[in-house]
Amino acid sequence: MTRTIVESRTRTAIIGFDQPFCVIGERINPTGRKALAAQLEAGDFSTVEKDALEQVACGATMLDVNAGVVYNSNPDPNVTEPPLMRQMIELVQGLVDVPLCIDSSVPAALEAGLAAAAGRPLLNSVTGEEERLERVLPLVKKYNVPVVAISNDDSGISEDPDVRFAVAKKIVERAADFGIPAHDIVVDPLMMPVGAMATAGLQVFALVRRLREELGVNTTCGASNVSFGLPNRHGINAAFLPMAICAGMTSAIMNPVRPQEMEAVRAANLLMANDPHGAAWIRANKPAAAEGATPEGARAGRENRRRRRA
């Protein structure tokens, strides 16, 4: 059974087919958040603090930390990202005790994050591009961490799912050459917007199934991409997540602060038999959540449930 182990200083999370879906909080990311980028340049980390606390309170299993900011004062991310990544990692792991996902396209920032992170973070990411494989896989080996493998290569992102599968397979094989086991590779099959490519969902469901059955790897994706450009994005995301989970996807980088998506994930955990005794579902949906019921009410609910099962 494939199990990807990630750790904070004191806590362990497992990504796996027999585990509750791993929700990787996406909020700590200045890309496309101009106000946050300006704050960080000014040394103001209040939004990062708020995002860390809020995402964990909403049920994130892990937090993605991305320092991809372009400063007005210095536009070179190779210079600015590594120290910012270190600073953000130290701040976040001082505030919350969940495993982190170190997210950058700048190898020096990945390394700075690895040096700063406690426990066993997830490295995000390597691709099938030759230069990235050669640069990132030695880091993965040196720090003995799991890594997100994005299935594009030097020829770009293929619209052919067979090519995307082949790229993922190549990364798994190259990782093996470095002594990195398949269970430490979490493949991102690349979710395109269904508004741009009608078969994007079908492709990912089929890819996730193949990646699981043929390579035995865990999978992830940037879930909200699926609904880009369409109305009522949360409605699309909230159906996509259970479908991807049903196909075998085991984690996603997503916004845990959105109740509709998180309810869909909790329901999918229940329906995949990854919520023992329905405890997490019942806890999240007990009357107390809606109308301040008493612990007695929750106990009565459990009692009714036991009777029904008898």
Closest residue by Cα to residue 58 from 10, 24, 14, 101? 24
The DSSP line for the chain is: --EEEEE-SS-EEEEETTS--EEEE--S--TT-HHHHHHHHTT--HHHHHHHHHHHHTT-SEEEEE-----SS---HHHHHHHHHHHHHHHHHHH--S-EEEE-S-HHHHHHHHHH--SBPEEEEEES-HHHHHHHHHHHHHHT--EEEES-BTTB--S-HHHHHHHHHHHHHHHHHTT--GGGEEEE-----TTT-TTHHHHHHHHHHHIIIII--EE--BGGGGGTTSSSHHHHHHHHHHHHHHHT--EEEE-TT-HHHHHHHHHHHHHTT-SGGGHHHHHHHSHHHHH---HHHHHHHHHHHHHHH-
CB 100, min distance to its own copies, A: 28
Q: Which of 243, 257, 258, 280 binds its own copies (CB under 8 A)?
A: 243
Nearer to its own copies, 138 or 222 (CB): 222
Q: Which of 83, 287, 300, 303 binds its own copies (CB under 8 A)?
A: 287
User: If binding is defined by CB under 8 A, does position 221 make contact with its own copies?
Assistant: no
Q: Which of 67, 69, 116, 264 binds its own copies (CB under 8 A)?
A: 264
Q: How far is CA 103 from the centre of its chain?
A: 10
Binding map of its own copies across residues 98-137, x = CB under 8 A, - = no contact = ----------------------------------------
For residue 73, count other CB atoms closer than 10 A to its CB: 6
Q: Which stretch binds its own copies (CB under 8 A): 94-102, 108-116, 152-160, 285-293?
A: 285-293
CB 54, min distance to its own copies, A: 22
Burial of 105 (0-12, 13-18, 19+ CB in 10 A): middle
| Number of shown-chain residues binding its own copies (CB under 8 A) | 46
Closest residue by Cα to residue 101 from 134, 149, 139, 63? 63
Binding map of its own copies across residues 147-186, x = CB under 8 A, - = no contact = ----------------------------------------
CB 228, min distance to its own copies, A: 8
Q: Which of 196, 214, 279, 303 binds its own copies (CB under 8 A)?
A: 196
User: If binding is defined by CB under 8 A, does position 229 make contact with its own copies?
Assistant: yes
Burial of 168 (0-12, 13-18, 19+ CB in 10 A): buried
User: If binding is defined by CB under 8 A, does position 211 make contact with its own copies?
Assistant: no
Nearer to its own copies, 40 or 241 (CB): 241
Residues 40-59 that bind its own copies (CB under 8 A): none
Nearer to its own copies, 78 or 294 (CB): 294
Q: Which of 1, 35, 42, 273 binds its own copies (CB under 8 A)?
A: 273
User: If binding is defined by CB under 8 A, does position 238 make contact with its own copies?
Assistant: yes
CB 285, min distance to its own copies, A: 4
Q: Which stretch binds its own copies (CB under 8 A): 25-33, 58-66, 87-95, 264-272?
A: 264-272
User: Contact residues for its own copies (CB under 8 A)?
Assistant: 193-196, 198-199, 201-202, 205, 226, 229-232, 235-236, 238-240, 242-243, 245-247, 263-264, 266-268, 270-273, 276-278, 281-282, 285-287, 301, 304-305, 308-309
